Structure 1
Amino acid sequence: MNRTPWRRRREPLDLAELAELAGLLPAPGDPVLPHGRMTTLEEHLMNEIQQAQARKAAETEPQSAGRIPSRSSGRPFRGGRRLALIGAAVAVAVLAGVAGAAQFTGQDTVEAAGSPEGSVPASVVQAGQGTTQGLSNTVALISGAAAREKLPEPKPGQFIYIKSQVSWLTESEDANGKSETYVQKLHPRQAWMSPDGRKGWLIEPGNGTTSREGLTLDVKGEALKEGPRLGAPSYDYLKKLTTDPDELLKKIYKETKGQGNGPDQQAFTTIGDLVREQVMPAQLTSALYRAAAKIPGVMVVEKTTDAVGRQGIAIARTDEYSGDRTEWIFDSKTFSYLGERTVQMRDRSGIKAGTVTGHTAITERAVVDGMKELPGSRNKI
């Protein structure tokens, strides 16, 4: 059906009439955004693109991790193997706002990007102040708990299974510079990965990343030739790493040189990506936490909350460039790992201070016998 209203065809105007009409009309407006606003958008977009490129360089192909991204924020995810696609989501939203500048629907009006589908307004919290006091004691308790944790060791043919609840930042901005910050609705994420890191599967439909059936995380091409590394680890790779915190941190700095927003922030991000969505030898997890405590700027946040409302204590660091603080959350009594939260600590690029731009909660870790198999069941999804 033709939805265009029928109009009577007019006779063409001659040049003299056109000139007369042109003189009566005001000069056409310039649809280009003001320079200051454009600069802000470009800065935000380039930051997200750089973070996405850093993740891509570390991954070569999408694989499971834990931005999980994006942070974020952001993050984010914000190297590592996570498939949150945070940077891409934010970049697309910003571009949509800029493109909207030319989509005039009437005089002095523009078409806004609108609320992203499947999103809710981002929560704004009163983030607790971090402190370095008690950092060494807190890390000692956390690393001690990690060392005592009894985790299954995956065998060839089996798969590491990680189930979590996650939410990441999206942003909508119109051509006038008015922006709204949203987050994805909290949604489940399930990831499977073989011990050698070559085969995997991800199901995360709430992020728009996968269908309900999921997508493959199998490593192919150049990534397969390159093999596992810190930015794209496997269980078999991780179990061969040193458990000396100083040597471990030295290796992390060396292999992540030039990535992210500075060496200290990238080292912290890399460790966070390793412990978030992975099963690894207990002694290595313990060593990673002790290594993190040696990174400048790392602090303790005494009270925070993961994505499913569990309260805990956090080891955290604020990114000096983006102003977001990433918190690794641990149970206050058992000191077991619960999840991660990212909070914007200062106003930046339309995101208010206190905005939670990323939230994760690990709800289950297990080893299963087959791809897409659930713990305690031979049934596959």
Structure 2
Amino acid sequence: MRELDDALDRLDHAARTSDAPLDDVRARVLAAAAAEQAPARSRRIARRLLPLAAAAAAVLVVGVVVTRPEDAPRQEPVAREQVRPGTTSPPPKVSLLSAKEVLDDAADAIDPVDPVLSPGQYRYIAEHAWYSRGHLIGVGQDDPDQTIRGWTYLKETSREVWIPQDQSQDWLERRGWLPGVEWLGGSVPRSEAPEPRAMDTDTGERRGKCGNFFPNSQGAASCGDPTSWDNPEFYTGLPRDPEAIVAYLRSATAQRGSAPATMFHWGVEILRAGLMPADLRAGWYRALATLDGVRVYDEAATLDGRTGIAIGIEDERQRRDLIVDPATGDFIGERSVAGTRPDEGWIEPGTVTGFSSITTKVVDGIGLTG
């Protein structure tokens, strides 16, 4: 994903070298990069992480279902040895299956009939995430050769959303700042690196018609907005044919060069929203499988107790995986792993730098989870 990282560096160099936290910075850069191509989609990324008004105060993202134990959730490589967030995973064995075979099988296994919401029912989306949050101390213009300093933690968070059958009614969102925190490293000892603190937008419960949870900072949301990833109507306008989906991903990432790693990253972000219907998800898997460099990296990746196969694209900076259950076609979640030359020099190559799992279901009332 070198092209994406280079693009991020060029697009937001000032933010990357400032004395500010990074995860929202990275989210805002992704949003800004796509602004000319798809301005409404950029709003979706900002809404998912933090409202624009909080951007200057916030954080370093890497990676996005729910349920948080006191101990960090674990990821299980092929050898069945549990790996904690932030640790370096032993290399998985080489799969006998190609990424295309895995994703094609997953597409074939998807139940083509999605649950239908009745009046009074809600679509429930829960995400449990470990994000990289940290602090970079920028390099001054008078000393550009100075080594960037700072530190990075992994922080456990949650987000739950209830979407009504009638989308013009109130939606509900809950965000949680969970107990888990892991030290990834830094240019200073951990004892000198303050742990990340929750901002106002990291916690709390909010309601808003059409999912308009932050009207003061983001403007009014349009009900049934066909250009917002957080709206079910967005998915009705996307193509179902794999070749057409590839063309869409290429167009959506044109402002950032449309490299395969960039297209794959964008495709995973849309899956991560948790709203993709079954018929589209089948073609989506088949489309991602055709991108150059996609391969199987882990045959037994576990997120929140669910095990699937991790498929991704890597470069020297980072690897982005999507994790799928080939038996059911379920999208379990995604993760990010540091490459051979991570952006932050204190992070060891192969370190899990973020992951999330996604759960979706239909519930009979707002605020219910089952």
TM exceeding 0.5: yes
- Using the alignment, how far apart are the partners of 2:263 and 2:237 within structure 1? 19
- Using the alignment, how far apart are the partners of 1:129 and 1:354 within structure 2? 15
Q: Does 1 or 2 have the higher relative contact order (CA < 8 Å, sep 6+)?
A: 2
- The Cα offsets for residues 118-165 of structure 1, whole Å up to 9 and x where unpaired, read as x9983332353777962221111111122x265313357643211232
1:83 to 49, 72, 77: 49
- Using the alignment, how far apart are the partners of 2:57 and 2:286 within structure 1? 35
Alignment of 1:267-306 (within 5 A): 267-306=263-302
Task: Give the letter aligned to residue 362 of structure 2.
Answer: V
2:122 to 134, 144, 159: 159
SS at structure 1 position matched to 2:124: strand
Q: 1:203 to 1:127 in 2, by over 3 A?
A: farther
**2:203 corresponding residue in structure 1:** 211
Say if 2:169 is the partner of 1:193. no
Pick the structure with more strand per residue.
2
**1:138 corresponding residue in structure 2:** 102
- Using the alignment, how far apart are the partners of 2:14 and 2:58 within structure 1? 14
Task: Give the letter aligned to residue 48 of structure 2.
Answer: R
Superposed CA RMSD:
4.2
Contact 1:63 1:83 in 2 (8 A): no
Task: Give the letter aligned to residue 166 of structure 1.
Answer: A
Q: 1:278 to 1:310 in 2, by over 3 A?
A: closer
What stretches of structure 1 of length at least 5 have no aligned partner? 1-38, 65-78, 95-118, 377-381
Contact 1:122 1:183 in 2 (8 A): yes
Task: Give the letter aligned to residue 55 of structure 1.
Answer: A
- Using the alignment, how far apart are the partners of 1:121 and 1:290 within structure 2? 29
**2:232 corresponding residue in structure 1:** 235
Say if 2:30 is the partner of 1:54. yes
**Could you state the TM-score of these two structures normalised by the residue count of structure 1?**
0.61
Contact 2:121 2:364 in 1 (8 A): yes
SS at structure 2 position matched to 1:161: strand
**2:332 corresponding residue in structure 1:** 338
2:151 to 154, 165, 180: 180
**2:78 corresponding residue in structure 1:** none
| CA displacement at 1:359 relative to structure 2 | 1.2
1:360 to 356, 362, 365: 356
**1:252 corresponding residue in structure 2:** 249
Task: Give the letter aligned to residue 274 of structure 2.
Answer: Q
| CA displacement at 1:166 relative to structure 2 | 1.0
| CA displacement at 1:330 relative to structure 2 | 2.1
- Using the alignment, how far apart are the partners of 2:263 and 2:166 within structure 1? 24
Q: 1:59 to 1:201 in 2, by over 3 A?
A: farther
Contact 2:99 2:295 in 1 (8 A): yes
Q: 1:343 to 1:309 in 2, by over 3 A?
A: farther
| CA displacement at 1:343 relative to structure 2 | 0.5
Task: Give the letter aligned to residue 352 of structure 2.
Answer: V
Identity of aligned residues (%): 25
| CA displacement at 1:50 relative to structure 2 | 6.3
Contact 1:55 1:81 in 2 (8 A): no
Larger radius of gyration: 1
What stretches of structure 2 of length at least 5 have no aligned partner? 1-9, 61-71, 73-83, 139-146, 179-197
- How many pairs were matched up? 290
- Using the alignment, how far apart are the partners of 1:278 and 1:346 within structure 2? 31
- Using the alignment, how far apart are the partners of 1:352 and 1:311 within structure 2? 25
Contact 1:303 1:313 in 2 (8 A): yes
Say if 2:133 is the partner of 1:170. yes
Contact 2:109 2:326 in 1 (8 A): no
- Using the alignment, how far apart are the partners of 2:295 and 2:137 within structure 1? 37
Contact 1:243 1:287 in 2 (8 A): yes
- Using the alignment, how far apart are the partners of 2:281 and 2:299 within structure 1? 22
- Using the alignment, how far apart are the partners of 2:250 and 2:221 within structure 1? 21
- Using the alignment, how far apart are the partners of 2:237 and 2:40 within structure 1? 22
